[in-house]
Structure 1
Amino acid sequence: MEYPRVMIAAPRSGSGKTTITCGILRAMINSGLSLCSYKCGPDYIDPMFHRTVLGIPSGNLDTFFTDDSTTRSLFVQSYSGDMAVIEGVMGLYDGIGGVETQGSSYDLARALSVPIVLVVDAKGAGRSIIAQLKGFLDYDEYHLIKAVILNRTSVAFGNTLGVIIEKELGIKYLGTIPEIKDQQLSSRYLGLVMPEEVPEINKKIDDLAEVITENLNLEELKKLASEAAELDIIKEDSSSKFVNVGVVLAVARDEAFCFYYKENLEMLKEAGVKLVEFSPIKDAQLPDGVDGILLGGGYPENYMKELSSNKSMKASIKNAIDSGMPILAECGGFMYLSDSIKNSDNQIYDMVGAIKARVEWKGKLVRFGYVTVDMGELQIKGHEFHYYDTDNNGDCCVATKPFGGKSWNCIHSKNGGYIGFPHLYYPSNPEFINNFVEVMKNYGGH
């Protein structure tokens, strides 16, 4: 089977790749194509945005989290539709620590043999863009960069540069997106609030799609995607997938808890786990008949009053944990299980109290970046990103940064599960989920 695919990347962050990726996705959907999308790296927001606003399947792929073979398998297993669009992260070659290629957009493109389209911010520049592109092409060991889109300059000037780009560099010029006020998708829309909470987003995307359709050669983009090299995939036996093993996992899903890797949830389902969603904000108690709890990250700090005042839900979760129910909780989920959270205004809100810890706003980024978590019998990869910290982060595991080797104790072990700040990527070690499923089976008597 062929897997038409293309990556939208950039020389650096802030070049406009997210805005242009979203515009391309909507424009192609409007043309009748069925798409799937992926985000390179650990970011939750962009895939969530693609799913909730654009309505297409979207996931995360990361060469720090998984080796080449696993990365390709994850891509093939989740691929759907006519074409995949992969959005890069940071600058094309920026990986671990900003100095290694592992974990970079380019490394993912290499692993998946993906044609790369570079989005270049051309504002205030001219022929210097040719030199910049030449440097990127010289660094392109696998000859994956196939085309360029110029952003934030006049279409007429961009077209003039495009002729030179194709003549001197031998890559395709797909077009120029002019600078248009109020159509950039800033971090305010993509990072600080849920996509569905911003009603003007759909109009912004529609307007972007019109600009994209008018100014980019989408037929050439589709042609590039169709020319992607054949993937070397080890076929897996799917006969055992989605066999119901009788366990049910309650998954927190609402405005406060929304950070879940699609790949993690798919792995749970493939292990035979039935997922039942609930809202710690709105529901009165856990769903009936569950054998475990999953509390992901998200925005609990934005809903502390609602979470704190829902005493029946807090009691339901606390009683379940006290009775031995297995639980996985990450970052915001960990914060919710603590005794209390103090926000940036020094207001304190009581939480579940299942973990003896007090959480407070630190006013700066406490931890950021990739980690390998050593759990003793196994290791699993993940990342941290949080402005809050606690006086009791746990000590059953050791997290180590891949660049520099800094390490620290973290995570509470509870009822065969794990509670702490790291966001874990389950496909980096499937044994983690196999073990948790067994714990749930034992708890539920299955």
Structure 2
Amino acid sequence: MVVIAGERSGVGKTTVTLALLAYLCRQKLRVQSFKVGPDYIDPMFHQYVTGRSCRNLDPVLTSEAYIQECFTRHTQQVDVAVVEGVMGLYDGASATDFFASTAHVARLLNLPVLLVIDCSRLSGSVAAIAHGYRSLDPRLQVAGVVLNRVASDRHLQLLQEALEPLNLPILGVLRRQDDVYIRDRHLGLIPAAELSQLDSVIDRLATLGETCFDWEKLLPILKSQFSIAGVQTLRATSLHSPTRIAVARDRAFNFYYQDNLDILVELGAELVFWSPLSDAALPDDVQGLYFGGGFPEVFAQELAANHLVIAAVKQAIGVGMPTYAECGGLMYLCQQIVDFDAQAWQMVGIIPADAVMGARLTLGYRQAEALQDSPLLAKNAVVWGHEFHRSSLSVPSVPENSLFPLFQAQNYDRQSPLVTEGWRSPTLHASYIHLHFGSNLELPQRFLHYCRSSQFSQ
């Protein structure tokens, strides 16, 4: 079991992680992956390779105890666990105590760290980088380094000579691999479901994993066991009859934490997956709607063309079906999505605003306080969430009396001004802020209670 960390963003953590996962799965090992932080897209690639849902480990969105419990639960029946870090090893929500960084999570789980270093523009300086990262926090166990983007045999020799005095094993060497490439766009990698040639890329990554790592040294580390004292189960169960929730999941809506879906099921939900892109109607006999994030702006023309579904969603929400929509789901419920080409596409129209794409990236953790009751939160409840989007809301008309702003929110450091965010009605919770249910069971419990109590079903 190991944590894959980088000395900064963009050094190749995801390539290294996928190469490891692909080769280990080729060897018929049972592999469970994890991702530090709030990311949705990298876990999709993990799951595509391993066949197991990747789990997010984020102490801001959940808690330290939840991270330990989640990791313990999902490593009981596997041979190997691989945790992909976020940004640089010590980059987290706080620059002083490294809270929510990869280093923080590695300490919580008592796991060794494999440090990925981008060597494309350095040789002897690699020793200073490796030494600094290993010594900054003596509580961490840096098991070795992976040298990425090595240009030549001579380049590798210089790197090896520089690292030799540190007695820090080189556990992998990756040459410049221009043929192993996954395309990206405005919010990161293009999701796995949209890539037609992904199987061949994964096959090349498996071969890369086989040839570029020192398996004699690395495999014992990967198969080592971890131990955390006093881990307790944090989940709840339900005695209620199943509550049918329609969950939008397709190319436009696919940003969901698997733990959120699992928790809803454990609390008594029956999840019915459907597609606002291609289905002709809402699923039958559902009692609530869940629209996750994704890329509705990329598929806005297709979404707008599905008039039957748009009308059905608008009618269902209008007559009181409890609805949870976050980020991309919020955009879908607006009057229009205005894409990067300034083309406007008609959406559901429940929210009296347009979602307008722009160059500015909104990114970061948010502490949010509910201004009014919603299907997920009682008035004055405080939650932590995460934003990641390039759209903003423009309000071209006067809001209806039944629809009000949802949150007062501010950044992680709580030094920024409070802003109002999201929309709510007695049965609607719509926001840019992504929430994780792991340490907030009252959120899904409240939502399911609203769904069970509702007099409306589709």
Aligned match for 1:126, one of 120, 123, 126: 123
Distance 2:189 2:234 in 1: 41
Match of 1:49 in 2: 45
Deviation sequence 1:296-337 (CA, Å, 0-9, x none): 111111111111121111111111111211000011111111
Match of 2:409 in 1: 399
Give the direction of change, closer, same or farther, for the CA distance of 1:110–1:53 in structure 2 (3 Å limit). same
Aligned match for 2:99, one of 97, 102, 117: 102
Give the direction of change, closer, same or farther, for the CA distance of 1:199–1:341 in structure 2 (3 Å limit). closer
Match of 2:174 in 1: 177
Aligned match for 2:195, one of 193, 198, 209: 198
Deviation sequence 1:199-227 (CA, Å, 0-9, x none): 33322222222122112123422311333
Give the direction of change, closer, same or farther, for the CA distance of 1:7–1:186 in structure 2 (3 Å limit). farther
Match of 1:438 in 2: 449
Match of 1:370 in 2: 365
Letter in 2 for 1:420: S
Instruction: Say whether 1:142 aligns with 2:139.
Output: yes
Instruction: Say whether 1:419 aligns with 2:414.
Output: no
Deviation sequence 1:165-209 (CA, Å, 0-9, x none): 3x5323322131111222244535993533233233322222222
Deviation sequence 1:66-121 (CA, Å, 0-9, x none): 22111111222333421111111111000116665111111111111111000111
Aligned match for 1:77, one of 73, 77, 91: 73
Distance 1:198 1:149 in 2: 27
Deviation sequence 1:8-36 (CA, Å, 0-9, x none): 11101111111111111101111121101
Does the residue aligned with 2:387 lie in a helix, a strand or coil?
strand
The 10-residue stretch of structure 1 (367-376 or 50-59) with the greater mean CA deviation from structure 2: 50-59
Distance 1:81 1:243 in 2: 30
Distance 2:81 2:240 in 1: 30
Does the residue aligned with 1:90 lie in a helix, a strand or coil?
strand
Aligned match for 2:210, one of 209, 213, 225: 213
The 5-angstrom pairing of residues 327-338 of structure 1 reads 327-338=323-334
Distance 2:88 2:210 in 1: 25
Letter in 2 for 1:134: H
Instruction: Say whether 1:266 aligns with 2:262.
Output: yes
Distance 1:364 1:233 in 2: 44
Q: CA RMSD in A?
A: 2.4
The 10-residue stretch of structure 1 (380-389 or 321-330) with the greater mean CA deviation from structure 2: 380-389
Tell me if structure 2 keeps the 8 A contact 1:368–1:383. yes
The 10-residue stretch of structure 1 (34-43 or 183-192) with the greater mean CA deviation from structure 2: 183-192
The 10-residue stretch of structure 1 (320-329 or 52-61) with the greater mean CA deviation from structure 2: 52-61
Match of 2:375 in 1: none
Match of 2:156 in 1: 158
Give the direction of change, closer, same or farther, for the CA distance of 1:369–1:293 in structure 2 (3 Å limit). same
The 10-residue stretch of structure 1 (13-22 or 212-221) with the greater mean CA deviation from structure 2: 212-221
The TM-score, its normalising length taken from structure 2, stands at: 0.89
The 5-angstrom pairing of residues 229-308 of structure 1 reads 229-236=226-233, 241=237, 243=239, 245-308=241-304
Letter in 2 for 1:299: F
Match of 1:388 in 2: 391
Match of 2:419 in 1: 408
- Report the identity percentage: 34
Tell me if structure 1 keeps the 8 A contact 2:421–2:431. yes
Does the residue aligned with 2:297 lie in a helix, a strand or coil?
helix
Unmatched segments (≥5 aa) in structure 1 = none
Letter in 2 for 1:172: P
Does the residue aligned with 1:403 lie in a helix, a strand or coil?
coil
Give the direction of change, closer, same or farther, for the CA distance of 1:404–1:312 in structure 2 (3 Å limit). same
Match of 2:374 in 1: none
Tell me if structure 2 keeps the 8 A contact 1:373–1:379. yes
Does the residue aligned with 2:178 lie in a helix, a strand or coil?
coil
Match of 1:38 in 2: 34
Aligned residue pairs, count? 439
Tell me if structure 1 keeps the 8 A contact 2:252–2:296. yes
Distance 2:455 2:241 in 1: 11
Match of 1:111 in 2: 108
Between structures 1 and 2, the one with greater strand share: 2
Does the residue aligned with 2:315 lie in a helix, a strand or coil?
helix
